[in-house]
Chains A and B, each alone.
Chain A
């Protein structure tokens, strides 16, 4: 029986369920000391002096400052602009300035009270507006880290000719990933000088790359191992480079293993968040409701250093026009520097920011044209043969129309809209009700030529003991990749799912299959493994004539085939010659394939308290092929709830450039009790180059709920909030103003 399409049990499930799984802080490390971080307390300043005060037994501790860095003081990612430890200047609150290790964890924390930093304050730009006004200059002459432009036709001219136009400024805030396990890393040096890092992370090879300049070590002398990881959502894509560098610096100086584990408060205050964005969105339609002009200006807040911001911004602009066709498009996007902790990867990666504007704008267009927003969407949806803003022509696997039809039907959208309109007219009703829609696309895998540059590799082995073993740096972070990849391999080989093992995610044992990001693991790594499995199967068949049917037969065959070590096949990503993308002009095929989704949110606003209660969500998502439907549904439900939090609850409060509600008591993420009923339908429009037709799944659920929520609140209250989160306070205030 095939494994693909089945709800196979999670490979790592039993260990997690029984508590046997060891997260980094659970791993006993003999002789390890605890590392803590001295951080700056001001947004922008010259560091005049760092003093280690009397009153703490400093002799028992090891202290590291920038002066102890043997190589280059940087956190290498796209650029080297971010220092591992601030040296002369600090550019944001909470920037690491020094490190302390002590045998006792609480003493290590206690030591922080005995460090004093002397500053000479510099002007600070704390918001996008202040950065654009050049209140402080952090980068170049204008604080712009990166800009993109997508231009197709003549948007200005088309806008003039349009029947109705709208012009709205949308704003979205930071968002905290709130993975269940805070960041943590253990580091030590082995006798032969190899630097080892063991931690909670998504991208082991990023860390290998980041450690090289710091320690001047070659790749072979750096070994990164993923511990069982309690969630990532992008938060453990690049930040682990930082904490890894810190732990390693301390380990080098202390000459012993170092454990650095952030507590929740530190984690929330200092690690990367979703980029806040301001999107000015102008759109024009003709009398038939056809979208004829788009003029969009996107600004994202990168924080103090570049990190991954250009890539986030790139995905943002590439999704800014939504899953619709429009002949004349002009999109300009910038990410700017502010004196705040750097923002980074978070599920959706720039797309939720611009899609929020693209989708919610339909409500304004609907108001202007008196055509309902569903009809407007239907008239403009992409289908096979449609052209996107980059000029990409969609050739296959476009399930958007189907998704929208399913959602409209299952949610009884039209009927509910009518019923709610009646209900809202009742003077004595305790609530206002609304239903809202959204539709999105999400490019699967890396943008443009990203996958070509990555040259990912993944291997499949037959071991001497007769087990099939996946070797890839794909990180299981709760999303189910172990099971999904195993199911793909099992069916490609034609063997039971239970015959498949996964090699430990250790850079000494697995090839670089690329980072665990961008909804790419199943589609790209799964694709490589699918090909490797076919190679391996052919090799076995060539030797055995009859493919082993039982484990005993397989063991017998393996003895011969893998006598001198595992029989291994490795596949490397190959450029898809059908797709072309120009990184300079942003013309061409931005992504090999897109996932598509539609979603409806039904909610009530309490007329006494203005609290919003989401009653039900219906969604249909075209993901090519559900390798493991249960896992896919889990991804969709979890991502939906995360996005409902972003839309309604999660309000990061920043003061003087730092998050001050850095605790889960006051940064409100949804609980299970806040989760509405969800009706999830999987639509499968296969992608010819994905394993069994699979495309990306992970991020789309995060892209879509926020605009649908705001559309529903619009029906309920008559108010269109172009800014999230829509809190009871903001509803109460808007209603007061309207009076």
Chain B
């Protein structure tokens, strides 16, 4: 195994351009699993620990900037995030256990692109923007567009995730909820994971609603069909049930070693229903 240890951002981007097959190393919680399985034998590692600035979390005029190297523990304890982006706090709290939260980073979580990435539904309903950088380019992509499939992103060769931008919504939502349904109380891979925000207007009319699910498709899904159906309608049992019937158009759960298609679909439906009903 060859390890490259750049001193700063410029150095890192230059080295990455020259070694496009290198594996960037952030917290290493995903990479160590590959390493243990022997999958990193003879590979090159690009150690990002020299990029100090990249772990910073700071408030911006429009919201919050989270450096790619910020850990789940740093995110879930940050005052501005706790105040304005509670769904992200709740999701970071469910990642692995304390040890994983202390090392694992948001950038690593995104770049790893697991269908079960627990922060993604929260990022999706906040319409998070992922900033990327390479030796000769900078790009900004909405979170739900960075994923290309299971464990695949649209990152180009030599391109790193620099950070994530969250914009504070003009009005706080009337209701919000994050819920992870894993295999056990900690160190669990999600069977389904939900995040939602709801803005109710007069007479319980839905002004706006943002819903997302993870682990029920190759990538995180905003539930556009369900959202569209709900928006502008009065939120009653009938509306909710008819919106829920559209759910299979938004997600594609499967049977696997951890759960069944049927369970994932049913529980996803239950999660959305109980959120919308305010239970």
Contact = CB atoms under 8 A, between A and B. Distances in A.
Interface in B36-51: 36, 38, 41
Interface string A5-32: 0000000000000000000000000000
A649 B260 CA distance: 15
B104 to A, nearest CB: 15
Contacts of B97: 671, 673
A576 interface: no
A729 interface: yes
Contact of B257 (A430, A611, A661, A733): A661
B262 A649 contact: no
A732 B263 contact: yes
Interface stretch (B128-136, B156-164, B177-185, B206-214): B177-185
Contacts of A674: 184-186
A693 interface: no
B111 interface: no
Nearest to B272: A608
Interface in B257-271: 257-260, 262-263, 266-267, 270-271
Interface in B209-233: none
A666 B267 contact: no
Count chain A CB atoms within 10 A of each CB in B38, B97, B263 and give the residue with the most.
B263
Interface in A653-677: 653, 660-661, 665-666, 668, 670-674
Contacts of A733: 260, 262-263
A608 B38 contact: no
Contacts of A611: 181
B263 A671 contact: no
B262 A732 contact: yes
B143 to A, nearest CB: 25
A671 B187 contact: yes
A671 B38 contact: no
B267 A668 contact: no
B192 to A, nearest CB: 8
Contacts, number: 67
- Where chain A touches its partner, the secondary structure class is loop
B158 to A, nearest CB: 29
Contacts of A661: 257
A649 B257 contact: no
B259 A665 contact: no
A732 B257 contact: no
A632 B91 CA distance: 38
Contacts of A324: none
A674 B191 CA distance: 17
A670 B185 CA distance: 8
Contacts of B263: 610, 728-729, 732-733
B279 interface: yes
A668 B185 contact: no
Contacts of A671: 97, 184-187
A649 B183 contact: yes
A153 to B, nearest CB: 46
B100 to A, nearest CB: 12
A661 B257 CA distance: 7
A106 interface: yes
Interface residues of B, number: 26
A407 B179 CA distance: 35
Given A609-B270, A671-B184, A729 B259 contact: yes
Given A671-B186, A673-B186, A728-B263, A106 B38 contact: yes
Given A660-B257, A729-B259, A732-B262, A608 B185 contact: no
Contacts of B271: 608-609
Given A729-B259, A729-B260, A733-B262, A610 B267 contact: yes
Contacts of B186: 671-674
Interface in B41-82: 41
A736 interface: yes
Contact of A608 (B41, B262, B274): B274
A726 B143 CA distance: 37
Interface in B153-197: 179, 181, 183-189, 191
B184 A668 contact: yes
B178 to A, nearest CB: 13
A317 to B, nearest CB: 34
Contact of B279 (A263, A428, A649, A672): A428
B275 to A, nearest CB: 9
A109 interface: yes
A613 B183 CA distance: 12
B184 A608 contact: no
Contacts of B258: 666
Interface string A356-374: 0000000000000000000
A728 B181 CA distance: 10
A729 B263 CA distance: 6
B180 to A, nearest CB: 10
Contacts of B279: 428, 430
A668 B186 CA distance: 11
Nearest to A613: B185
Nearest to B33: A665
A653 B266 CA distance: 22
B266 A736 contact: yes
B185 A106 contact: no
Given A665-B189, A666-B257, A649 B184 contact: yes
A624 B97 CA distance: 39
B68 to A, nearest CB: 25
A611 B271 CA distance: 13
A649 B97 CA distance: 18
Interface string B235-268: 0000000000000000000000111101100110
A671 B99 CA distance: 13
B93 to A, nearest CB: 12
A100 B274 CA distance: 57
Nearest to B186: A673
B131 to A, nearest CB: 31
Nearest to B189: A665
Contacts of B188: 668
Contacts of A263: 36
Q: Give the one of A611, A661, A670, A672 with max B CB within 10 A.
A: A611
**Which 6 A/B pairs are nearest by Cβ-Cβ distance?**
A673-B185, A673-B186, A608-B270, A729-B263, A674-B185, A668-B183
17 contacts: A109-B38, A263-B36, A428-B279, A430-B274, A430-B279, A609-B267, A613-B185, A668-B183, A668-B184, A668-B188, A670-B185, A672-B186, A673-B185, A728-B263, A728-B267, A729-B262, A736-B262
Interface of A: 106, 109, 263, 428, 430, 607-611, 613, 649, 653, 660-661, 665-666, 668, 670-674, 728-729, 732-733, 736
Given A611-B181, A668-B184, A673-B97, 5 more contacts: A610-B267, A649-B183, A660-B257, A665-B189, A670-B184
